[in-house]
Structure 1
Amino acid sequence: MLTNAAKPFVKLVDRYLPDPFVIVLLLTLLVFVAAMVFQQQAPLTVIGYWGDGFWSLLTFAMQMMLVLVTGFMLATTPLIQAGLDRLACRVRTSGQAIVLVTAVALIASWLNWGFGLVVGAFFAKALARQVQVDYRLLVASAYSGFVIWHGGLAGSVPLTIATKGHFSESLIGVIPTSQTIFSGFNLTLTLLLLVVIPLVNRLMQPKDEDTFLIDPARLQDPVIESSVSERPADKLEQSRWLGWLFGGLGLLYLLNYFYLQGGLNLNSVNFLFLFAAILLHQSPRQLLNSLQQAISGSAGILLQFPFYAGMMAVMVQSGMAQSLSQFFVGLASSETLPFWSFISAGIVNIFVPSGGGQWAVQAPIMLPAALELGADIERVAMAIAWGDAWTNLIQPFWALPVLAIAGLKAKDIMGFCLVQLVITGLIISLVLSFV
């Protein structure tokens, strides 16, 4: 049934979905028009909002890029790569490959979204070298695991409100991750998705005549050979003791940090993945080679992030984001506010694909509403987090590193992701509303 259901979505997206950079340009135009029509903003005023906000997220963009880059560097360590190859060698059928790549991507994304994106893509390539499987679905399965990230250890919203000094502290205080990431409803939702998403991907497997196969020779990762040199500088770059020393120092600091302060935040997660990568890559040269690949895979994000920052500025300064959030708040009661928070966050995420940026937009509306209605603050916050993650399935911005590694285009995978959007949206809505 799902094979037949996915087929028209795949054809539709393949025919009409443009490049992600074209999408951000079209979305920007849509936001311009909406701000002028619905918020009665003058054209030059809207352009002013856009231009003034274009560089407003540079600090946050750097933080997000570090999440992606450190996750990439950790995923490309010899230990992780060897583990993925050994796991891929155990797979014998295409169905097993689809289920396994989804499970690995889900678990890795729960640990760290950048790590999950990269590990999923590399594992998809490793599997495609071992078995004949629809490569588009395999990569889409790897990307579908990303939907779980905001309920995991690197979630921007739960980590932000767990950090002292966050901008909403005067309103809600500091909320530990035990009440968000590790709450009963969030763990229930996470476990359900760990079961359902791999099953749905397996059931979407195309028939033999529609299967898109790829030559395994095209999937070989480039080998970067270290040149042998007698120069003292080169020997220093290739020495292992520096990697072991500074990797160990970084992890020692983290152990002390967690013992004294506890809790996860974006900085501690980035610190953990960076120094784990330094330790496992061993030599500075290997780490720098991995960094070079990581940066090339994130080039699309670097180009598009300022456009989304400008778009977010228009939505915030014109009042459009607030109006959208307030519209859904007006429909809500204390019981239904988490559901409407989830839906509104999913819509806003299409225009503002940044968990932290979206929280800055929606928290000033949703949190006072939750306090006034007597709704569960933690559940509302996580509903916004899950809404942000949910529509990433059809927002190709974060798929760019996966596509760069896999060698595909957004149109190749988004048809399958549309089916997942419907099914996961139903599951998340039910859990947020009733569990």
Structure 2
Amino acid sequence: MLKLISKPAVKLVERYLPDPYIFVLLLTLIAAVAAIAVERQTPLAVLRMWGDGFWGLLTFSMQMLLVLVTGFMLASSPPVKRILQKIAGTAKSPGGAIILVTLVSLAASWINWGFGLVVGALFAKELARLIKVDYRLLVASAYSGFVVWHGGLAGSVPLTIATEGHFSADQIGVIGTGSTIFAFFNLAIVICLFIAVPLVNRMMLPDEKDSVYVDPKLLDDEPEPVGRITRPAEKLENSMPLALLVGVPGLLFLLDHFLLRGGSLNLNVVNFMFLFLAIVLHRTPRNLLTSLNEAIKGGAGIVIQFPFYAGIMAIMVQSGLAQSMSEWLVSFATANSLPFWSFISAGIVNLFVPSGGGQWAVQAPVMLPAAEALGADIARVAMAVAWGDAWTNLLQPFWALPVLAIAGLKAKDIMGFCLIQLLITGIIISVGLVWF
């Protein structure tokens, strides 16, 4: 049945889903018109919100570009490639490859979202080299594992409210991860998704006549062998001691950060770890630079599109549109149904504000008073917002850009399969938030 349903969904998306750049332009216009029509903002005010906020994600844009680049360099290093090849070799059939890549992506995304995005995409490429399987579904399966990230160890909402002095601490206090990430209802949702998402992907595997394959030679990114070294500069470029003299201190810094100072895992630390592991594992600066040149090719979408999303976020937040949407959706909620409506509202807002931390800043002032007034479980409502943010990433191409860049595909190639996952995971998460 899923195979029959996914076939028209894939064709529909392939036909009508535009390039992510067109998608972000349309979202910009929709947000601007809605701010004028609904919030009674003047065109000049909206224009200023958009322009002033356009560069608000520069730091985050660079972090995301580094997630792509450093993750690619790490995963393309000889030791990591051998590990990926060994794991990929355990898949003996197309169906097995789909299940395996989904499980790897789910596990990696639960640990850290940036790690999951990169590892899933690179593992999909490794499987495609070994097994003849529909490449679109393989990459879509790698991306679908991303749906669990906000219920995992790096979830920005649960980690924010577990931090002393967070912006709503005076209102709700500090809520530990035992009530959010490690709560029964959240772990139950994660476990159900670990079972359902791989099975759904497997059931969507097209027949051979409908499948789209990729030539394994096109996925070959082996560096050219180094020729005879004659110049002193070339000796430095191919010097293993030079790489180790810089790379090892970087790893020592990480040990100090985690073991002696009790530091946490955030995006900057992940990028630092990826980079210095890649420096050590590539063994020479030349090998690292070769991998860098390959990795950077896919970063164009991040560079050009993220500023537009920053502008959209500024319109949504400053005009009051995001708050109005959230207030309307929770206006008819009860104590038991508030987590569900919080989840739905977060999923809608996420299409325009695709940032977990930024979205919580927008929705917390609405959701927390509503939860207190209705006597709802505040921790569960917070996790509902977190899951809503993660859920519609299956439809929003913002987070798929690094995956698509690594895999060499377009959003329309994978979003038809992700649309089916959107419907099924939405049901599972909703039930978990209300009934578990």
Contact 1:242 1:282 in 2 (8 A): no
What residue number does 1:295 align with?
A: 296
Cα shift readout 1:73-115 (whole Å, capped 9, x = no counterpart): 3322322211112222332211111111111111122222222
Matched, 1:112 2:117: no
Letter of the 2:411 counterpart = A
Give the whole-Å Cα distance in 1 for the aligned partners of 2:131 and 2:190. 29
SS of match in other structure, 2:336: coil
- Name which of structure 1's ranges 399-408 and 68-77 shifts more when overlaid on structure 2: 68-77
Give the whole-Å Cα distance in 2 for the aligned partners of 1:371 and 1:237. 61
* Number of residue pairs the alignment of both structures matches: 435
- If the length of structure 1 is used for normalisation, what is the TM-score? 0.92
The gaps in structure 1 that reach 5 residues or longer are none
CA RMSD of aligned residues (A): 2.4
What residue number does 1:195 align with?
A: 195
Give the whole-Å Cα distance in 1 for the aligned partners of 2:26 and 2:8. 24
What residue number does 1:419 align with?
A: 420
How big is the shift at 1:393? Answer: 0.7
Matched, 1:322 2:323: yes
Contact 2:223 2:290 in 1 (8 A): no
What residue number does 1:218 align with?
A: 218
Q: Equivalences for 1:102-141 in 2 at 5 Å?
A: 102-141=102-141
Contact 1:67 1:113 in 2 (8 A): no
Q: 1:224 to 1:335 in 2, by over 3 A?
A: farther
Give the whole-Å Cα distance in 2 for the aligned partners of 1:269 and 1:166. 22
How big is the shift at 1:39? Answer: 1.1
How big is the shift at 1:23? Answer: 0.6
Q: 1:388 to 1:289 in 2, by over 3 A?
A: farther
Give the whole-Å Cα distance in 1 for the aligned partners of 2:370 and 2:11. 42
What residue number does 2:56 align with?
A: 56
- Name which of structure 1's ranges 161-170 and 378-387 shifts more when overlaid on structure 2: 161-170
Give the whole-Å Cα distance in 2 for the aligned partners of 1:162 and 1:78. 39
Give the whole-Å Cα distance in 2 for the aligned partners of 1:208 and 1:422. 25
Q: 1:79 to 1:407 in 2, by over 3 A?
A: same
Give the whole-Å Cα distance in 1 for the aligned partners of 2:367 and 2:330. 7
Letter of the 1:84 counterpart = L
Contact 2:282 2:288 in 1 (8 A): yes
How big is the shift at 1:232? Answer: 4.6
Q: 1:217 to 1:71 in 2, by over 3 A?
A: closer
Contact 2:238 2:284 in 1 (8 A): yes
Give the whole-Å Cα distance in 2 for the aligned partners of 1:149 and 1:33. 32
The gaps in structure 2 that reach 5 residues or longer are none
Matched, 1:337 2:338: yes
Cα shift readout 1:105-158 (whole Å, capped 9, x = no counterpart): 111222222222222222222222222211211111111111122222332323
Letter of the 2:335 counterpart = S
Contact 2:114 2:267 in 1 (8 A): no
Give the whole-Å Cα distance in 1 for the aligned partners of 2:232 and 2:151. 47
Q: 1:371 to 1:397 in 2, by over 3 A?
A: same
What residue number does 1:82 align with?
A: 82
Q: 1:386 to 1:277 in 2, by over 3 A?
A: farther
Give the whole-Å Cα distance in 2 for the aligned partners of 1:396 and 1:325. 22
What residue number does 2:306 align with?
A: 305
Q: 1:179 to 1:233 in 2, by over 3 A?
A: farther
Q: 1:270 to 1:407 in 2, by over 3 A?
A: closer
Letter of the 1:323 counterpart = S
Q: 1:399 to 1:212 in 2, by over 3 A?
A: same
Contact 1:51 1:310 in 2 (8 A): yes
- Name which of structure 1's ranges 308-317 and 41-50 shifts more when overlaid on structure 2: 41-50
Give the whole-Å Cα distance in 2 for the aligned partners of 1:374 and 1:51. 40
What residue number does 1:375 align with?
A: 376
